């Protein structure tokens, strides 16, 4: 699976985490221990944390004068991994032109730093065309999850849980008539259509609306570890969520959105009486260890701050007031790697089953040399994915409803690039 994922550009860290000539940052991505730094000219380097001389960690090195200098013997490397100084070796014996740190290709756009970790560093794929990440005003936040990447990702594509985990205590009278969560509260057991797509798998959960239209909630899995969740209004906001493996038992979420917050039920809406629908994430301070970035203060160690009184009196179905922590609690409670043999999947889990099969088949085809990684060389296919909630003619299928909604949606990214 790691080889498969390395065919794609991978979100590595936020632009704001790296300062020119500032402290290097430890990153672990797909079990590789790396450092990231920004040199004097603002260029970003991501490389193996070990100095190729004696394997001392470059994390404790000096980021200075357009390179990272190992404090053990003074060897210095630029952002491409080239050794540019070897002061501990006599000049006549200098062989710096033959020494390279293991560095990876990077690029930076719209507040996010990407890394390509594939074997062919001379020929990286085209840059991704994921709509939310293509807007210069994209909003990005991160959160570490203490479980396998697929386990975390599946929480995004299993939205039959929304009517219980997230809004289980809500009643229809708590919400305005046009609130996009109202159909979910009125009917907590939707039906589904699932379809394979060029970018992965898509599904639509549908329920009859009060006005006779069909209420759709459309979401996507996108290769290799992306999701788009249906908690926004389809027409006015774009979202993309990357579940980047740190190692087999930890993952890093990059949540990227752009567009209007108007009507966004998951993060900005209030109840009829003005009460916020959900609380905000409480972060612990970032530390410099391999698992020290973007951690919540709530975890298994404090039972994700569950409030049993709130659970009993109906204030919160879960007793956990934050939507992200609700997801985190249930996925982390499964253990770091779920034993799928213990599961009993329901008809409403067809998206889960289809994604598992699609991922395994694609990774196997790449490993056997039978196919290229889907979309890696044709990133424009990802731009055709948009998620969210909308109302549509009840007689139409998922394909027809989606095509119509997409044609009416405000799009970002390509228009912005053209204007620039």
The distance from CA 67 to its chain's CA centroid, rounded to whole angstroms, is 30
Q: Phi-psi bin for 298: left (phi > 0), alpha (psi -120 to 50), beta? A: beta
How many alpha carbons lie under 13 Å from residue 330 in its C-beta half-sphere?
18
Beta bridge partners of 228: 220
Superfamily grouping for domain 2-116:
Rieske [2Fe-2S] iron-sulphur domain (2.102.10.10)
What DSSP string describes 161-215? Answer: GIIIIITTT--GGGS-TT-TTHHHHH-SS-EEEEEEETTEEEEEEEEE-TTSSEE
> CA 46, 49, 51, 57: dihedral to nearest 10 degrees?
140
Tokens (6 digits) for 270: 């209030």
pLDDT of residue 418: 39
Helix (H, G, I), strand (E, B) or coil at 401: helix
pTM (2 d.p.): 0.92
pLDDT of residue 417: 45
| Integer CA distances (angstroms), 237 to 40, 149, 231, 282, 354, in order | 36, 25, 10, 24, 26
**Residue spans in the chain of domains classed CATH 3.90.380.10:** 131-419
Q: Are 162 and 186 in contact (CB under 8 A)?
A: no
pLDDT of residue 271: 58
Q: Phi-psi bin for 212: left (phi > 0), alpha (psi -120 to 50), beta? A: left
C-alpha–C-alpha distance, residues 28 and 106, integer Å: 15
C-alpha–C-alpha distance, residues 241 and 133, integer Å: 10
C-alpha–C-alpha distance, residues 301 and 355, integer Å: 31
Tokens (6 digits) for 23: 């402290």
Provide φ and ψ at 13, rounded to 5°. Answer: -165, 175
Residue 342: which residues within 8 A CB-CB, separation 6 or more?
none
C-alpha–C-alpha distance, residues 217 and 229, integer Å: 9
Tokens (6 digits) for 258: 């752009």
| Residues in the chain, total | 420
pLDDT of residue 375: 96
pLDDT of residue 278: 63
Residue with tokens 């008539």: 177
* 420 residues of the chain, pLDDT tens digit each: 999 999 999 999 999 999 999 999 999 999 999 999 999 999 999 999 999 999 999 999 999 999 999 999 999 999 999 999 999 999 999 999 999 999 999 999 999 999 999 999 999 999 999 999 999 999 999 999 999 999 999 999 987 887 787 777 777 777 767 666 777 776 677 788 999 999 999 999 988 887 889 989 999 999 999 999 998 889 999 999 999 999 999 999 999 999 876 655 544 455 555 666 666 789 999 999 999 999 999 999 999 999 999 889 888 888 888 889 999 999 999 999 999 999 999 888 999 999 999 999 999 999 999 999 999 999 999 999 999 999 999 989 999 999 999 999 999 877 444 333
C-alpha–C-alpha distance, residues 118 and 53, integer Å: 23
**Residue spans in the chain of domains classed CATH 2.102.10.10:** 2-116
C-alpha–C-alpha distance, residues 382 and 240, integer Å: 10
Q: Are 235 and 390 in contact (CB under 8 A)?
A: yes
pLDDT of residue 374: 95
| Integer CA distances (angstroms), 190 to 170, 316, 418, in order | 17, 22, 40
pLDDT, tens digit, 9 for 90 and up, residues 168-219: 777 777 776 766 677 777 667 778 899 999 999 999 998 888 788 998 999 9
Angle at 22 between CA 17 and CA 25, to 5 degrees: 50
Among candidate residues 237, 197, 266, 220, the one with its CA nearest the CA of residue 229: 220
Residue 205: which residues within 8 A CB-CB, separation 6 or more?
159, 160, 190, 191, 192, 216, 217, 218, 230
pLDDT of residue 186: 67
Tokens (6 digits) for 380: 């424009």
Provide φ and ψ at 136, rounded to 5°. Answer: -65, -20
pLDDT, tens digit, 9 for 90 and up, residues 51-70: 999 999 999 999 999 999 99
Tokens (6 digits) for 51: 């100095």
CATH T-level assignment (fold) for domain 131-419: Naphthalene 1,2-dioxygenase Alpha Subunit; Chain A, domain 1 (3.90.380)
């Amino acid at each position: 699976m790691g080889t498969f994922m390395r065919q794609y550009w991978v979100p590595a860290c936020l632009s704001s985490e790296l300062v020119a000539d500032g402290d290097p940052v430890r990153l672990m991505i797909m079990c590789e221990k790396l450092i990231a730094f920004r040199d004097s000219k603002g260029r970003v380097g991501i490389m193996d944390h070990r100095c190729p001389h004696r394997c001392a960690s470059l994390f404790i090195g000096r980021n200075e004068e357009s390179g990272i200098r190992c404090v053990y013997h003074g060897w210095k490397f630029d952002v491409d991994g080239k050794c540019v100084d070897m002061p501990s070796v006599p000049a006549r014996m200098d062989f710096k032109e033959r020494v390279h740190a293991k560095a990876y290709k990077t690029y930076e756009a719209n507040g996010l730093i990407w890394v390509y970790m594939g074997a062919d560093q001379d020929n990286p794929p085209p840059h991704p065309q994921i709509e939310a990440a293509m807007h210069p005003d994209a909003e990005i936040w991160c959160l570490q999850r203490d479980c396998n990447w697929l386990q975390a990702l599946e929480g995004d594509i299993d939205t039959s849980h929304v009517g219980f985990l997230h809004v289980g205590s809500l009643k229809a009278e708590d919400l305005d008539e046009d609130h996009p969560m109202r159909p979910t509260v009125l009917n907590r057991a939707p039906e589904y259509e699932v379809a394979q797509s060029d970018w992965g798998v898509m599904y639509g959960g549908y329920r009859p609306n009060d006005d006779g239209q069909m209420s759709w909630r459309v979401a996507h899995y996108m290769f290799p570890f992306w999701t788009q969740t249906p908690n926004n209004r389809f027409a006015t906001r774009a979202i993309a969520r990357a579940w980047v493996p740190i190692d087999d038992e930890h993952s890093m979420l990059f949540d990227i959105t752009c567009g209007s917050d108007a009507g966004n039920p998951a993060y900005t809406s209030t109840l009829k009486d003005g009460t916020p629908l959900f609380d905000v994430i409480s972060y612990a301070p970032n530390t410099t260890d391999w698992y020290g970035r973007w951690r919540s203060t709530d975890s298994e160690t404090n039972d994700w701050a569950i409030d049993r009184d709130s659970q009993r009196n109906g204030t919160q179905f879960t007793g956990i007031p934050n939507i992200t922590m609700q997801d985190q609690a249930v996925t982390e409670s499964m253990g770091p790697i779920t034993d799928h043999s213990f599961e009993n999947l329901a008809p409403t889990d067809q998206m889960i089953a289809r994604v598992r099969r699609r991922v395994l088949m694609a990774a196997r085809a790449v490993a056997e040399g039978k196919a290229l990684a889907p979309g890696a060389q044709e990133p424009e296919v990802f731009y055709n994915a948009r998620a969210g909630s909308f109302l549509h003619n009840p007689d139409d299928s998922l394909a027809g409803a989606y095509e119509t909604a997409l044609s009416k949606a405000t799009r970002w990214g390509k228009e912005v690039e053209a204007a620039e």
